[in-house]
């Protein structure tokens, strides 16, 4: 347990110690603000974060791969994976330690968007329920994306390849629920369509952002997260030297 | 302290390690010799529970590498090939991190003090690892392995790529520690065997070809270790 904490702490420190993480953070905050203002935040005539949250799935689909690409690829590239995984720690503890560090950093990024909430409070009388569930949903969804990106990071020495593969999968899981995509896929049987839509983070997150917390949405995200973390552990165990 | 029993590891169609067995006792420094690609590193990776053997097993300090990998790792100090380190950390924070990983707790301070002196890295203690010379990096790599004062040390080509003075330093360090530890050191530099090892094993193509004290091996090769090494690793008739 203490070994897992040390991995967690080291990883978190390295986020704050590298300028690149701040650059990504700035890009994330900048984009979230830009898309919000462009998306009629002030013109919608209601004090809600609907516009803000509607951009989060797409933003996270880029941000999470950026955050997680280095987690294991870098260990592979420099060979430190051999040192780390010959210390008294199990592979799953190492995977979790790194994942939680990335997730916490993502949580901090989300907290840094709170000025948007203060703006709302200043402008009107927002309903806090949907805001809270929206943030909760965003945090859980971020965890799933990070777990997916962690998985691809365990596969390769190259951060770029890890990033691209994660982006494709995160983006794909986003797109299959998009109304435009579902229209194109209209020729498919109804049941396939519904399955695709339910696999999408857009669909799952949409519910939470509207202020509803349903067990199945939370379960979906938690299952995704746990599933990809287990897959990462298995992959590392299996091809450590690759 | 180390018992290796018929380890086998296959990578695709290549049998990197093909049934290696040997024993190492406390106080011994075992030289693991062989040409590049002989299976030295692969064997060491299996002993440190980094790779899982396809068959066979080994016990280190009473722990089985398959049943109790974490137990094995607690008991060993390992310096992988090229001694990889976290370049962005300072020597100090790196050693602290390693102490945390080993759960040294309040003993961390004195452990760090000890290895810093042993490995003579006091004057780079606050530097970022990326800025260190190769010799210093290697010493930090060694220091990391000594932190918890393990009974078993596994060093994969610890002097590779160092200049003659640095090689001498590393060898002296190993000799100093030899009495009350069990050390396995891989190399393809034959003079090193003479300098530090009390026993040597020659392997090639994944098999153990010879096992004996440096003096014994030399006499078999007609006086030089070089001649014997070439004779048996190139598939000569002598062995």
Enumerate the residues of chain B whose CB falls inside 8 A of the CB of residue A86.
48-50, 73, 76, 78, 80
Report DSSP letters for B223-238, one per residue: S-HHHHHHHHHTT-S-
Tokens of B124: 């780079």
pLDDT at B122: 92
**B73 at interface of A, judged by CB pairs closer than 8 A:** yes
**B85 at interface of A, judged by CB pairs closer than 8 A:** yes
- Among B217, B143, B180, B154, smallest CA distance to B28 is for B180
pLDDT tens-place string over residues A197-215: 777 888 788 888 787 788 8
Tokens of A80: 């430190």
Per-chain mean pLDDT for chain B: 89
**B88 at interface of A, judged by CB pairs closer than 8 A:** yes
Report DSSP letters for B83-124, one per residue: ----TTSBHHHHHHHHHHHTT-GGGHHHHHHHHHHHTT-GGG
**CB neighbourhood size of A79 (10 A):** 15
- Confidence bin at B231 (pLDDT 50/70/90): confident
> What does the domain layout of chain B look like in residue ranges?
2-84+151-233
CB-CB under 8 Å, B100 with A87: no
pLDDT at B80: 93
For chain A (242 residues), the mean pLDDT of every run of 10, in chain order, is: 90 88 91 85 78 89 94 93 93 96 95 90 87 92 96 95 96 83 78 80 81 85 95 88 54
CB-CB under 8 Å, A2 with B73: no
pLDDT tens-place string over residues B162-209: 888 888 888 888 888 888 899 999 988 888 888 889 999 999 888 998
pLDDT at B227: 81
pLDDT tens-place string over residues B119-156: 889 999 999 999 999 889 999 999 999 999 999 999 99
CATH assignment, B2-84+151-233? 3.40.50.300
pLDDT at A241: 59
pLDDT at B124: 94
Nearest to B87 among A3, A5, A78 (CB): A78
- Structure ipTM: 0.89
Interface test with B, best of A4, A72, A83 (most B CBs within 10 A): A83
CB-CB under 8 Å, B78 with A86: yes
CB-CB under 8 Å, A9 with B100: yes
pLDDT at A35: 87
Between B182 and B225, the more confident residue is: B182
């Amino acid at each position: 347990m203490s070994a897992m904490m040390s991995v967690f702490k080291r990883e978190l420190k390295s986020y704050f110690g590298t300028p690149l993480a701040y650059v990504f953070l700035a890009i994330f905050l900048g984009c979230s603000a830009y898309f919000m203002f462009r998306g009629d935040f002030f013109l919608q005539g209601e004090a809600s974060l609907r516009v803000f949250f509607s951009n989060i799935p797409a933003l996270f689909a880029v941000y999470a791969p950026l955050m997680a690409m280095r987690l294991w690829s870098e260990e592979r590239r420099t060979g430190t994976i051999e040192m780390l995984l010959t210390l008294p720690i199990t592979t799953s503890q190492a995977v979790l330690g790194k994942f939680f560090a990335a997730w916490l950093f993502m949580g901090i990024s989300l907290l840094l968007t709170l000025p948007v909430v203060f703006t709302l409070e200043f402008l009107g009388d927002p309903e806090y329920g949907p805001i809270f569930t929206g943030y909760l949903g965003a945090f859980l969804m971020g965890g799933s994306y990070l777990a997916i990106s962690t998985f691809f990071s365990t596969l390769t020495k190259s951060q770029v390849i890890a990033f691209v593969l994660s982006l494709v999968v995160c983006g794909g899981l986003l797109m299959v629920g998009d109304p435009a995509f579902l229209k194109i896929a209209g020729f498919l049987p109804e049941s396939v369509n519904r399955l695709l839509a339910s696999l999408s983070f857009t669909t799952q997150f949409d519910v939470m952002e509207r202020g509803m917390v349903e067990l199945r949405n939370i379960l979906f995200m938690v299952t995704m997260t746990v599933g990809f973390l287990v897959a990462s552990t298995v992959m590392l165990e299996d091809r450590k030297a690759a | 302290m180390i018992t290796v029993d018929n380890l086998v590891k296959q990578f695709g169609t290549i049998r990197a390690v093909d049934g290696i067995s040997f024993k190492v006792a406390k106080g011994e420094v075992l030289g693991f010799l062989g040409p590049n690609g002989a299976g030295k590193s692969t064997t060491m990776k299996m002993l440190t529970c980094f790779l899982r053997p396809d068959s066979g097993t080994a016990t280190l300090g009473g722990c089985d590498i398959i049943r109790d990998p974490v137990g094995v790792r607690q008991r060993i100090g390992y310096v992988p090939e090229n001694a990889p380190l976290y370049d962005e950390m300072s020597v100090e924070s790196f050693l602290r991190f390693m102490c945390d990983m080993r759960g040294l707790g309040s003993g961390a301070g004195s452990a760090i003090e000890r290895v810093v002196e042993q490995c003579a890295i006091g004057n780079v203690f606050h530097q970022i690892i990326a800025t260190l010379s190769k010799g210093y990096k290697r010493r930090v790599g060694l220091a990391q392995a000594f932190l918890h004062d393990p009974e078993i040390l596994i060093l994969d080509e610890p002097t590779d790529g160092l200049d003659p003075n640095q090689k001498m330093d590393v060898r002296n360090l190993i000799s100093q520690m030899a009495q009350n530890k069990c050390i396995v050191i891989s190399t393809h530099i034959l003079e090193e065997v003479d300098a530090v090892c009390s026993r040597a094993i020659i392997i090639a193509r994944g098999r153990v070809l010879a096992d004996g004290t440096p003096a014994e091996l030399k006499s078999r090769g007609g006086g030089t270790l070089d001649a014997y090494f070439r004779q048996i690793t190139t598939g000569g008739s002598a062995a």
